[in-house]
Structure 1
Amino acid sequence: MTSHWPQPPTFRAPIQPRQAGARNGRFELALSRHGARTHIGRQYVSYPFHMTRPFAFDVAIPSLLTVYQQSSSGGLYRDDRLDSRIDVGAGAAGHITTQAATVVHDCHGQPAHQTTEIVLEEGAFLALTPDPLVLFPGAACSSVIQARLAPGTVLLLSDAFALHDPEGRGRPFERLEAKVDIRDAGGRLLVRDNLEIGGAHLSSAGSPIGDWKVVSNFMLVGAPDRLPTADELAVLGRPERQVVGITLLPNGAGWGVRCLAADAIAARVIAEKLFVLAVSAAFGQQPAPRRK
């Protein structure tokens, strides 16, 4: 599944030494099932990542544990390299989200890099739903997600971005790249999704997103009997606030959902509805609201 945006010339910044102050951050989290509940089995968190205690919001779904992946730094900066590893054990269930949107600052030709590795064991559930990236003028960011899914698992991925110029002069971000590979437990490729877009194309009069403010991409992958139906997904969105497209992913992997939203509130409504649908289909119970 590839996003067919108008493609700018490939961004190739000159090879430069790493900037003083550029950061390497690491976030590792392993969740395991014990009885009816999911617990943290292993964690490693280095600056700029931060994590408080986990939360069990759902009385009716005791196996679903929520973790807020936080930042202590005020956003992403040039040449940042932030890596995450998330392991969810057999029968365990996790929801990992952020405390707020993440600002990507002017990167001065040296993109920030985020990589995430996900491993789900048999029957596991993971919703990875960070709030959108807010791309400031000059922002450049590369995101790579690689996931491996055992039988009976469910994975919900959310990836969203918005444009913002604090000075209100319409200055564009530089470039955004997002790549997702999802494989089965044997390593067979199920889904590959690539997005590449230059900010100048979204800031011009002929922008493919028009006046919409937030672009959201979701992938809901896993065991068919634990996924929402097409009819359930069809209720997403209101034409005046959101435009939603739903795609059946290759290899019977699940659903791709793309959304253009009028503002951050409208984008959050879609993300929350999709999370509710994903949890309800996987567990037969609606999740409690998540506070931000």
Structure 2
Amino acid sequence: MPELPEVETIRQYLNDVLPGLQVRQVLHLDSRMVKNGRLSSEEIARRLPGHMVKSLKRRGKFLFLEWDTKDHLLLHLGMSGRLIWVPENVPWVVHTHMVLDFGGHHLRLIDPRRFGRIGWMASGEDLVPHLGIEPLSHDLTAPRLIQRLAGRTAPIKSLLLNQGIVAGLGNIYVDEALFRAKIRPDRPGGSLTETDAKRLTRAIRAVLKQAIEHRGTSFSDYVDALGHPGQNQDYLRVYGRNQGPCSVCGEVIVTQVIQGRTAHYCEHCQR
């Protein structure tokens, strides 16, 4: 699944390309992908032509195209979504669910598993009020994280995957952050001390920034807006390295299923 760094990588490129461009026509908008109920796919397709992109924003794993009307087109890539910017003569591929024609180039959403979503947010509407702390903002502090975790007995791995606590994290970056912070993924979230929380907030920022620097992590589906895979998989320390040596102590990296999600960690380094 594209997590925060992958969505941010796409946003950064498209924010250099799209602002100032007008939609010529909506060539395709799959009604099955329009899931927020505010406008139908037909209504969105009627509204967009002739309007100009003002900017691209991100909140957690959500991407927003802001228009000159100050309305927003919401996009979530789900498990396997790709948002690509291609010349208009590039053939469509199977599972293409959205095509915006900007005259010469298309913005296309491709999602084989169809877990992604498209939505419409009116001007002034709170974009995603259910989301938690934005981890690359100043809002992610040790005291605030401890406040969110207070009294919680669920494993810290599961709590960090909860988008209502911290927005944008998934399996990869939770495992990587917990490893850097030296915290076991099955430890109760409410047991974290202030020192733990300080290490964890620093680690979350570090793994996200590293992943953005390397243009995201690609194992299967993810590519950037130009169709290129990311390179951050070459820099992961624990995720996907089951039975490999820990980069710090040399002990074997192990896996454990925690509330339905697989965690990778070092039993020696993480407490």
Between structure 1 and structure 2, the one with the greater Rg is: 2
TM-score after normalising by structure 1: 0.23
Higher strand fraction (1 or 2): 1
Q: Tell me which protein shows more helix as a share of its residues.
A: 2
What is the TM-score with the length of structure 2 in the denominator? Answer: 0.24
- Higher RCO (C-alpha under 8 Å, 6+ residues apart): 2
